Chains A and B, each alone.
Chain A
Amino acid sequence: MTTVTGELIGRTPVIATAGLTKHYGSVHALTDLTVDVGPGVTGLVGANGAGKSTLIKILLGLLEPTAGHASVLGHDIEQASQDIRRLVGYMPEHDCLPPDVSASDFVVHMARMSGLGASAARERSADVLRHVGLDEERYRPMGGYSTGMKQRAKLAQALAHDPQLVFLDEPTNGLDPAARTDMLRLVQRIGSDFGIAVLVTSHLLGELEQVSDHVIVLDGGRLLRSSATTDFLRQTGSLLVEVVGTETERDRLGEELARRGLTCRPRGSMVAVDPPPADLAAEGAAHDLIRDVAVELGLGLMRLEPDRGHLEDVFLEGGARV
């Protein structure tokens, strides 16, 4: 199965794989993977051992595939691995920072190892360290960094040479919720503001949904699904409504909406509205109804938005299909 999304038509994909397979003896890390990745942020999702890191290492030429082909930025991974490594950045999932070197010195050195001259490397390094949010700490040895700072330093070295594509392997690993949000925002900025294509992995679908234009789901080394994030979300069609007040107000709204033909259930302080039935399915009809009901009941509408929490459900559905 090949999935080519709208954004890819007529252009070379950033990454294209065909029948890519990697076996370690009897362990099938990757099996017959055929998928295309376009520009923007692509999330690569899968449970532990799904083959995410294996795929990235094959694309970088660090591992040889057992079978199949792949190209990155139009270069074949077997014939032009070196050209690929000039153009991409890589943030590994594990620790890879020498503890006795400062982030500043380290990123400069890594930029030079990607072919930048001494002064360009210094300038770029200061730039990217600022972008990832390492300030004064950048002059301290990295051994004393928190996990959050280490992840930032790892990201900075991946961006040091201004790549066209970065592989970010579990950048949110080990981060607390606030740092996780920061990191995800940064990933999104890399894709949109910096204009660098991103392939980012995670085993949490929910977090990639927030930042990815496209999601690829791997399961046991096989492609489960690859499609635009909006496709994942569009399927749900559910709405979330929140009104000013307590549970009493929430329930008054829910009961009234149910009377008007919508299937509702409480979710926290909100009302979750299932996809509307046929007579309310017209674009915006359900929205209008909810707004009218709130006005009639004299309730202040705080929130009315598509329910975006269903990516995991889609994954589960997909899993059931296979």
Chain B
Amino acid sequence: MSESAPDLGRSGVIHDLGYRHYSGVREGTPAIARTLFVTGLRHAYGLGRSGKSKVMPFLLLGMSLLPAAIVVGVVVLTGLGDLPVSYADYTNQTQLLVSLFAAAQAPVLFSRDLRHRSIVLYLARPLSAPMFALMRWLSLSLALLLFMLVPTLVLFLGALLAELDTGDQVAGLLKALVLQVLLATLVAGITGLISSVSLRRGFAVVGSVMVLIVLTGVVSVVQNIAAFEDADSASVAVGLFSPWSLFAGLADAWDAGVNTPAPVDGAWVPAYALVAVLLVAGCLLGLVARFRKVGSR
């Protein structure tokens, strides 16, 4: 394209170049989808957006790294024989920060296009509504996964520095990673759907906080009471109703260093996995329906 305007600018006279057609490469759907995904991932951390929008994600990330840094310092200096917290449990312990990150950043990816109706411009382009929803969800999922994984990796490096058993550490890390992937997709689906329905940012954040923090709190209290009353299966059953208790339950079942009020075992394990997967699928279908509806207005 650049050689089609030879030397016109150099004479110092303003030339109206007229309309130039574009005859270059046009990327296929996969490449367009990848661009949307990468842009969405960057936007989740405020990159490529205003300076102000970087504050929240990086502040939360910093806060979730701080305990990991302290743990590493303690382990390396005192020569403890093991990390005081498992990789998966670290994520569980910092769940408030993870939830806040999701609640705060989901509206960036799921409310804005609907509120300003730029969704129409996307859907008038090659990507279909399902593809658009899928890419948005993947962006937030990976943003969340990174949010959880970065402190986990700091812990892991600390463990290597302290010369703990590498095999044990790698095994724990991989388990945590798998569980984090599942959690990220789940939380991204839930907060994404909430944000796509309540287009006012405030409402979306409050809605996500209600589900991720308040509901999880209630579930946890009920689980503890049930376990205390020796109603173990009731305790485990209640765990199906929040993303964090699903995460903790699966981590417990898999021996990833997280303990639930009552042990998750037997048929409960596939039930937990199934509920998690169905929840993700349901959220995705809801998102597609929502994007389609607003996009046709």
**Which of A's residues lie within 8 Å of B, judged by CB?**
57, 60, 62-63, 82, 85-86, 88-90, 92, 94-100, 109-110, 112-117, 120, 123-124, 127, 131, 157, 161-162, 189, 193-195
Contact = CB atoms under 8 A, between A and B. Distances in A.
Contacts of B19: 127, 131, 189, 193-195
Contact of A92 (B22, B31, B50, B120): B120
A63 B120 CA distance: 11
Contacts of B36: 113
B128 to A, nearest CB: 7
B28 interface: yes
A193 B121 contact: no
Interface string B104-132: 00000000110011101111111110000
Contacts of B127: 113
A119 to B, nearest CB: 9
B24 A157 contact: no
Which of B22, B27, B122 has most A Cβ within 10 Å? B22
Contacts of A117: 24-25, 27
A98 B118 contact: yes
Interface of B: 1-2, 18-22, 24-29, 31-32, 35-36, 39, 49-50, 112-113, 116-118, 120-128, 295-296
A120 B1 CA distance: 8
22 contacts: A62-B120, A62-B123, A62-B295, A85-B124, A85-B126, A86-B26, A86-B126, A89-B124, A90-B120, A92-B124, A96-B118, A98-B113, A113-B32, A113-B35, A113-B125, A115-B31, A120-B24, A127-B19, A157-B121, A161-B22, A162-B21, A195-B21
Contacts, number: 95
B116 A90 contact: no
Contacts of A193: 18-19
Main secondary structure of the interface of B (DSSP, over half): loop
A112 B48 CA distance: 15
Contacts of A194: 19
A96 B117 contact: yes
A110 B24 contact: no
A96 B91 CA distance: 39
Contacts of A161: 22, 26
A211 to B, nearest CB: 16
Contacts of B126: 82, 85-86, 113-115
Contacts of A96: 116-118, 120-121
A131 B25 CA distance: 22
A89 B121 CA distance: 9
Contacts of A162: 21-22
Given A86-B26, A189-B19, 18 more contacts: A60-B123, A60-B124, A62-B120, A85-B126, A86-B126, A94-B117, A95-B116, A113-B35, A114-B125, A114-B126, A115-B32, A117-B24, A120-B1, A120-B25, A123-B1, A127-B20, A193-B19, A195-B21
